[in-house]
Amino acid sequence: MREQTISSEEIERRYERVLTLFFAGRMPGLNHARHLAVAKILCHLPHGRELMHLGLQITVTRAGVPEKYSREITDYYWDRLDGVLPDLGEFADLFDAAATAEIKVTLPVAEIIRN
């Protein structure tokens, strides 16, 4: 088990933007290095391996190439992670003013569902 120096709640808070985009299948610049950086975050969270598989499946499905997902390859790299959390600077492009503009939903969820 990897040593945790900060709580999983703090990790989720610190990397919320990264995780939200990854699980939405909308992470820009998702190359191999960025995959590994996301994995280094997830390895500190409960069920991190499963979350990594889920995020990758969402990403490739949204991209229209579900055959690119490989559980074996993901597990291979997962087992070799050093567990060091990535610097937020690796995701600087996700935190610029344009990228962090929030979409405000004005209707309550129940109202949206009814319509």
| CB < 8 Å & 24+ apart, contacts of 28-35 | 28/93, 28/94, 28/99, 29/93, 30/59, 34/90, 35/77
pTM for the model stands at 0.78
Q: Where are the domains of the chain?
A: 8-114
pLDDT of residue 109: 38
1, pLDDT greater than 80: no
What dihedral do alpha carbons 35, 41, 42, 43 form, nearest 10°? 110
Share of the chain above pLDDT 70, in %: 80
pLDDT of residue 95: 81
Share of the chain above pLDDT 90, in %: 70
